Amino acid sequence: MTRRRPRIRSLLLAVCALPVLVSACGDDSSSARARELRFEVVPEYLDEPYENAELGLALRPPLGWRPLDDEQRRRVSEALIAAQEDGEYSLEIVDVFLHTETLSFAALSTVSQGGVPAEDTERYVDSLAEALGPEEDDELRVRGRIRVNGLEATQFRHRRDDRVTFTLVFRPPAGMLTQLDYSIPVSAYEDEGIKLESSVGTLQPIAQE
């Protein structure tokens, strides 16, 4: 039986298609040991701190990337559900941070498999890599294992059409398989990409109450 691929492009399409939003090198081996990375964090490139106690996760989004309100987030979630085909995996939106002028965004999601939280991290990561396509098809496609502030993640950097996306897959303290996508239009990358490193450098686990 052929394994179904996750619809990773659906998140980009769902977010960018909504009218409300318009007005709005690492080791390729999945078994490689994670490398502890220290990102240069420049506070001037960052927005207000964000914490999610349910996931046990904290970060600071890039400057000007503001969280959607409840109604906007609901519409994004509905669009994402509609855009995803009946695949093995699905993403469930937790929060989205949007730069309204460039439509750059960071989307924090949990990963489900057959309607329940996904359990097998490596299987999902391999499926995600398969969905992204052969590495040689995209000069920006990079996969690696990293550790940021004690949080271990698989990192993908990839380009689709006119957007560059950095995807991190990890399990924060609550244990739910989580995906964080930073997506920037190529036309805005020079201005917005510099903020991304600072934001990733603030990603950290937090103690649950």
The answer to whether residues 54 and 174 touch, using CB atoms and an 8 Å cutoff, is yes
Backbone φ, ψ for residue 40 (5° rounding): -75, 115
Judge if pTM exceeds 0.85.
no
Q: Domains of the chain by range and CATH?
A: 9-205 (3.40.1000.10)
pLDDT exceeds cutoff 60 at 59: yes
Assigned token pair, 96: 């989205």
User: Which one has a higher pLDDT value, 141 or 73?
Assistant: 73
Coil, strand or helix at 121: helix
Count of CB atoms situated within 10 Å of the CB of 69: 9
The answer to whether residues 80 and 10 touch, using CB atoms and an 8 Å cutoff, is yes
What is the model's pLDDT at position 134?
A: 64
Measuring CA to CA, which residue among 155, 122, 147, 143 is closest to residue 204? Answer: 147
pLDDT digits 0-9 by tens, 144-180: 888 999 899 999 888 877 888 899 999 999 999 999 9
Residues whose CB falls within 8 Å of the CB of residue 175, separated by 6 or more in sequence, listed in order: none
Residues whose CB falls within 8 Å of the CB of residue 116, separated by 6 or more in sequence, listed in order: none
Measuring CA to CA, which residue among 168, 189, 7 is closest to residue 81? Answer: 7
